[in-house]
Structure 1
């Protein structure tokens, strides 16, 4: 239960009581990331469903606001940092790391975050009411992906991305992957796009950055969520 509370504290803005935890507890919290994604999914899908019948754009906006509010824009920050680094580094990994560590926001970050929010808004508008269960599952499945990136990508540096490495194993990835397949079979086969989107992001990280970091996790969650929404729209 401690791991679940830590995962919720890290990935959401829910007002939860503080818990005593060491580095090992925090690392093991990654096992619960998909469960925390269920809370995010509910925060997105419920306002979307409640207002979409009144007006699809209003429902889409409500869902997007819920998405940003429940996560505190945590992953958007990672997306912005990766965009700034990739845009300014020109293949120089040392410069890339320096740009990503810079707390200032550059033009690449602004564009990437704006496009990401716009993409989610449009895709939420395009979803059908019957896809409510699938929408709830989008943040769940997107938070399975970091378990795979942690297992198969080297850490870029000692920090947030590396702290999870000792807390998850292949069995956790296998178990959550089976759960994702069952969820797709029950609710929407399009959700199987997870198994294309997540490895593609892992390949990009390995090729361009050389490994995984906290920013890489955050950016990847955002992009996998958008890929799953796109799959639901194109392959309902």
Structure 2
């Protein structure tokens, strides 16, 4: 169970016992990212459910706060870094990589985080109104399947986290999680949108950036979660 513990330690801020891990253990941990997503989703849905006893907006806020706390804002940081780099690079790949590696946040990144948080708040509110608790559990799970696909078939932009995970992602693991996502779609049909969205993310990273990095994974997870929430609300309205 070491890879699962490492995945939870990497993707969440849940207190867990320290484990000794090699580079191979760390790489194999990526296979368990979707399972870590289920833990994140459980925390989000649980907080939203309890907050809804006060009101739907309070439930949405509680769910969003839980989302940020349990992940430590890890993926929001990736979103901010990617948007900053794209905004400052002006087509220069060297400049893009320099800004992507800069730990400071710029105006583009701030705007991206604010808009992302507002979007999630509104969408989680709609999910709470519809009492879509299972969807709130499964959406973080679905979004964390994407890094396995992107890592497997996209070259790393630099020798960072994406490169370290690369040799630990196996095709059987992707197939298993893909089947799990397909099965989950029978209960929450909006999750089937995950397949074209993951493919679209692959196409965008390939054509626009030429590869993937840890920050790109974080940004991709954030945007997939938001798009899957939109798909959820759209299917319910339909």
Partner of 1:222: 222
Encode CA deviations 1:184-203: one digit per residue, 9 max, x unaligned. Answer: 11x11111111122121221
Q: Is the 8 A contact 1:12 1:72 kept in 2?
A: yes
Q: 5 Å matches for 1:146-185?
A: 146-185=147-186
> SS at the partner of 1:104?
coil
Q: 5 Å matches for 1:56-135?
A: 56-127=56-127, 128-135=129-136
How many residues matched? 235
Q: Distance in 2 between matches of 1:193 and 1:115?
A: 22
Q: Using structure 2 for the length normalisation, give the TM-score.
A: 0.96
* Structure 2: segments with no counterpart, 5+ residues: none
Q: Distance in 2 between matches of 1:205 and 1:107?
A: 22
Q: 5 Å matches for 1:30-41?
A: 30-41=30-41
- Runs (4 or more) in structure 1 with deviation over 3 Å come to none
Q: Distance in 2 between matches of 1:132 and 1:118?
A: 20
Partner of 2:3: 3
RMSD: 0.9
Partner of 1:142: 143
104-113 or 120-129: which moved more? 120-129
* Structure 1: segments with no counterpart, 5+ residues: none
Q: Using structure 1 for the length normalisation, give the TM-score.
A: 0.97
